[in-house]
Structure 1
Amino acid sequence: VYSKLRTAMGGNVKYAVSGSAPLGPRLGHFFHSLGVHILEGYGLTETTAPATVNLTTKSKIGTVGPALPGVSIRLADDGEVEVKGVNVFKEYWKNPEATAEAFHDGWFKTGDLGSVDDEGYLTITGRKKEIIVTAGGKNVAPAGLEDPIRANPIVGQVVVVGDKRPFIGALITLDREMLPTWLGNNGLPADMPIAEAAKNEKVRAEVQRAIDLANKRVSRAESVRKFEILDTEWTEASGHLTPKMSIKRNVILDDFSREIDDLYAVPVTTTNVSLG
């Protein structure tokens, strides 16, 4: 299979650049196994696109690399990524208030949260405006849970919830393309409808496994305690995804408010609570 994929890409591809949306470690490792190094980078319109990018001489899957020459990055006290350099814009057109809000001591505030390792490689961990604050006061970055859960083949999309709630929960959709193969490989009818699969014990156990793996990355207070698999899909056509397949979080929270309320209507002693 790998040889066919390499041939389909021309047979000579060694490097490719990824940006605009998170690549995800699973895809990074997949392409690496093909002999293709994905150089994931990071930037915004305000930074004239790239501010950081992995290097051909050294790339780290899961990071967006070190700062480009002429660019500096730092983390604010709350973990927000700030950028300064020749690539950073001067101002928003005829909007001095927005411009003033966007800078801190001459550094552009990206609105993204991140971490930097001892070699200067940046990892984006979430969006500042998306931070969930639980009823117990715990700050949770959804992306830190959503990305590893979404890496499971049968998971289509996931939205972590729990703002002002007693614990973290998640809404899950299944991947319509990958599900039939997984069902067949696990002794289940490959043509099982999504609505039926959402309630199937084996399917739920697989989703629970993905959640347990994600929960190992965070503290108990930040972990997903309950989840619900929806019998629908989130697509661009349904209005729940952007053209680049990013989730429209606020739309989903509004459209599925009843399902979210249901997560918290029953005490956390149900079978879909992570015990890992």
Structure 2
Amino acid sequence: MAFVSTKDGTQIFYKDWGPKTATPIVFSHGWPLSSDDWDTHMLYFLAKGYRVIAHDRRGHGRSTQTDTGNDMDTYAADLATLTDHLDLKGAVHIGHSTGGGEVARYVSRAKPGRVSKAVLVSAVPPIMVKTAANPGGTPLEVFDGFRAALSANRAQFFLDVPSGPFYGFNRPGAKISPGIIQNWWRQGMMGGAKAHYDCIKAFSETDQTEDLKGISVPTLVMHGDDDQVVPIANSGLLSAKLLKHGSLKIYQGFSHGMLTVNADVISPDLLAFIKG
């Protein structure tokens, strides 16, 4: 297994598959998951001749279960440590949910030449929580409920989320996959409870308006219009307007977890954007 060490000694696990001379695609996962959430897409792009890279965010998956640094600035700094370590040039960065926030912060501050394109999939920017300046956001009480459920019984909470709103399995007629639910639970329970608890604040309360405005590379925003976790009206639609070179693709009826349950649609669309 491959790891890179950050300035504070955190060990970040990563996968790096494919020819090292090929165009690199870097995947950032959502909360509370791991790089494994991107496996289907990594295999798809590997077969297309790309170099594919994904890491476990600190406190998640196989990376160090840190009790500090569980914030968007540090997540982006950790990603920068990885891209420096691998000396990536002209990489395409793709982030899902919280990973989209990580990508937005990293790409807006990346060294020249490191990034060629970016994709935000069902991503949390510009800011999730409802405030006076963000009246369409999700009330803070919802995120307080997440914290309470995680603290009381993380194992059950991590079954309830994927069984319901995350993949839209609570919708009438939904094709439910026990394997996907169990894999979500497996990934979540690999990580640290403290890091997961802190990350709720990071993904919900971090204002990334300036990050989005600061991104200079072509950026694709992909979002399902039935996302029950990160509603499109206050995320994807707003992000696309803030980006200098942004484009928006809306998926009718798709859930927050569309990258998994609709991978057959998402992967080709990602490929078209990367090649375009």
What TM-score does the superposition give when structure 1 sets the normalisation length?
A: 0.25
Tell me which protein shows more helix as a share of its residues: 2
Tell me which protein shows more strand as a share of its residues: 1
What TM-score does the superposition give when structure 2 sets the normalisation length?
A: 0.25
Question: Greater relative contact order (Cα 8 A, min sep 6): structure 1 or 2?
Answer: 2
